[in-house]
Chain A
Amino acid sequence: MKKLLIALLFSFVSTSAFADGHSPCGVTDGSIKILANEFTTYRIFMDEVKSCAGDGADFSVTHSVDHNKLQVAALSANPAEFSAKLVTNGSITTLMNDNLIRPLDDLVAKYGSALQDNQKIVIDGKIYAIAFMANAQHLWYRESILNDLGIAVPSTYEEVIAAAEKIKASGKMANPYAGAFKSGWNVAQEFVNMYLGHGGEFFKAGTAEVSINNDKGVAALNMMKRLTEVSNPDFLTQDTNAVKEEWESGNVALMHVWNSGAASLLDDEGDQMIKADTRLANSPSVGGGSVPATTLWWDGFGIATNTSDENAEASFRALLGAATSTEMANANPNATIWLIDGYSPGDTAGPVVDAANRGAAPYPSLPYMSLLHGALSTEIVEFLQGNESAEKALADVEAAYVAKATEQGFL
């Protein structure tokens, strides 16, 4: 009788498991080592990954703002230093170029029944990553300051500058605007936004030949220069996290940062007066264009090629558990825009949806884009400091790109 009961129970468990696929969570063995960027939303996600992994697996996560620079070296080794990497449409191409992340079709078939189709990043018919959130940079403003001075919420960058100058003239703030202009990845990203906002194309169609030294490139640089003039003079050393600190210290009334910033800007820590006054606005357009000067991003995860199948499966299961966790998404509705089934967006999702509706482009997923991004990150700095003309800076970017792309075998 007892045996029968166990058998019945067993068959019940196995049928239910068949009914909704294998449950991803509760990993019993293997090693899960994840490399990820550092910001609050990722911390929320990683907490969920950790609780999904359970105690059976060896779990560790490395958060670093330099994740993009570490990823190639860390995943090239065999066995790789990390079994999984949180990727975006920006960083996945670099990993794809070197075959450093593996196709996930088998694992998705086994565990991924709760995934939505738009979470699957399919390249040439194979799933290479699972997306869990969408993100974009957009405008943030301090409502009381704009109201006091009778300034309407800016919808173009020209209006942003006029508003910033008005705030500056009123004496309320010395440097009312902030953007992540830190020399390196951040300042290059600002150029990418601004150049796309002007309707520019980075490469001659279908080739790796760069073409940014044109009127749109010059206009984009000049607009960045004007923005830095109403920013903190230390703008070249401020990344997104530093800009958010400036905001929380009340030094800034307008800024252009990531939607996922809401997770830390609108939490219960810090000055609640500033939090109550913080508003999100759509990303501005620029130069008379209709497209907002921003790029759309998805964030997801990929699994290393150079790791054992066992570790790959363990890592996939734990990450998938979080990437399909409706509870996590709905418990943190404003942390970002989750792509998870059953998630009802919070009130901060508006600007990203607006950017997508108005035709903002996803960040270009081209194999040689990161080389151009790298060339931009150092060569436009001298222009922003006023030591060089815009044309000269763009010519330098192109020349630096050509030298690197030649060495990499793209040209």
Chain B
Amino acid sequence: MPHKTFFWFFFPSGLAMVLFIGLPIISSFFQSLHIEPEQILMEVEKCDPFGCKTETKVDIEATTKLQEEQPLGRFNGLGTYGDRNHLAFDQIKEAWNNSSSMSNFIDILLNLPFYKALLFTLTFCFAVTPPVVILGFIVALSINTLTKSLKGPTIFGVILPMIVTPLIGSLVLFWMIDAKGILGATIQYLFDDPNLSLKSSSQLTWITLIIYGIWHNTPFAFVVFYAALQTVPQDPIEAAIIDGASRYDRVRHIVIPHLYPVATFIILICLMDNFRVLEPIIGFAAEGVAQSLSWMIYNDLRSENKMLFGSAGATSMLTIIGVAFLLTPVLIRTWKEFRTER
């Protein structure tokens, strides 16, 4: 394709990407460098049904004036990035100097909100992605062998978890695993422990969230694999059958190599999606034990006070950096393959 044609072909989507992805990222970055202007407090008399007393209140006039002078807030540089709710440099330094052992240091580190969230986010990513790819592949292979009349309904059933809105899907499961729900009660019966509750311990909640993640993401891998399976060349397969290759051998030596680039694509998308995990945490009411980076952003913007734009912006930037780190190995690999193919 000539460069000029390519440019005009790409221009509309490029423009949309700059407008709707690029500019918001730049704006979040600027916001993350600022914090709210100082709040000016004053003592006033407040009267309510329980009586009158003198209490502190924000001096609205003075504070509004400050806000008008600095609509973005006070410039804080990278201060927000380094505070306790983000990278927590001071706390880490202190912990490093004062902790008695490595495990003590790690305990302190993982107690800091950002690192706690990072640990869950990464665990979720790496626990969900491999099973999704493998399960998606197996399901696609199995459905590919079904007779035509059965295929349609089965495919519909399989992609159902993806169709259901994540929040609704997780809420449905949340009630099913309740101590009195069908799954929760069955598990109690099987383990003969009336106090067993999937919602009460961190480990079990994490496992529940991961299983939910696999359930929700597998259809995506299935759809992509299933589409790719339709492009597997029939000639080498027939040749292999004549040569006496078993079904396993055919899959291992012909189908898998053919689907390899597709698998890379699925891994890429899954890692990216799972790094942004949010809805199941809300649906399962798991904020107490499992916090992700996206949940931190959500929490900053839905706190009961003013929205913490600076803090949310900083976490967003750190999330983008995290996604970039995560994808680098896969991207380098794809690039190398691209180069050798040329």
Contact = CB atoms under 8 A, between A and B. Distances in A.
Interface of A: 66, 68-70, 72-73, 89, 91, 93-94, 96-99, 118-125, 131, 134, 174, 182-185, 187, 206, 208, 232-237, 296, 298, 339, 356, 362, 365-368, 370-371, 373-374, 378, 381-382, 385, 387-388, 392, 396, 399-400, 402-404, 406-410
A59 to B, nearest CB: 27
Contacts of A97: 39, 58, 305-306
A385 B306 contact: no
Contacts of B56: 206, 366-367
A409 B305 contact: no
A409 B195 contact: no
Interface stretch (B42-50, B224-232, B240-248, B324-332): B42-50
A138 to B, nearest CB: 16
B308 interface: yes
B85 A120 contact: no
Contacts of B83: 403, 406-407
Given A356-B50, A381-B288, A99 B305 contact: no
Contact of A339 (B38, B49, B302): B49
Given A400-B85, A408-B36, A72 B46 contact: no
A365 B46 contact: yes
A96 B84 contact: no
Interface in B50-71: 50, 52, 55-58, 60, 64
Contact of A69 (B113, B200, B287, B303): B303
A94 B39 contact: no
B84 A400 contact: yes
A232 B179 contact: yes
B207 to A, nearest CB: 15
Given A123-B46, A124-B45, A374 B303 contact: yes
Contacts of B36: 407-409
A182 B80 CA distance: 29
B304 A185 contact: yes
Given A72-B307, A366-B56, A124 B197 contact: no
Interface in B293-324: 299, 301-308, 310-311
B306 A98 contact: yes
Contact of A404 (B44, B47, B178, B308): B308
Interface in B191-248: 194-197, 199-202
A407 B111 contact: no
B86 to A, nearest CB: 9
Contacts of B276: none
B35 interface: yes
B286 to A, nearest CB: 8
Contacts of A298: 48-50
Given A122-B45, A407-B83, 13 more contacts: A68-B304, A91-B304, A93-B57, A96-B58, A124-B44, A183-B289, A184-B288, A298-B48, A356-B50, A367-B56, A373-B304, A378-B288, A404-B311
A176 to B, nearest CB: 14
B74 interface: yes
A70 B291 CA distance: 20
Contacts of A371: 303, 305
Contacts of B85: 400, 403-404
Interface residues of B, number: 56
B288 A236 contact: yes
Nearest to A69: B302
Contacts of A404: 85, 303, 305, 308, 311
A148 to B, nearest CB: 22
Contacts of B64: 99
For A68, A206, A233, A373, which residue has the most chain B Cβ atoms within 10 angstroms? Answer: A233
Contact of B287 (A184, A407, A410): A184
Contacts of A233: 179, 195-197, 199-200
A234 B201 CA distance: 9
B176 interface: no
A183 B197 contact: no
B37 interface: yes
Nearest to A94: B305
Interface in B162-210: 174, 178-179, 194-197, 199-202
Contacts of A387: 202
A228 to B, nearest CB: 10
A304 B86 CA distance: 34
Contact of A408 (B39, B44, B289): B39
12 contacts: A89-B48, A99-B60, A99-B64, A118-B49, A237-B199, A237-B285, A370-B305, A385-B200, A403-B83, A404-B305, A410-B39, A410-B41
B84 A402 contact: yes
A73 B287 contact: no
Contacts of A367: 39, 41, 56-58
Contact of B49 (A68, A134, A373, A408): A134
Nearest to A99: B60
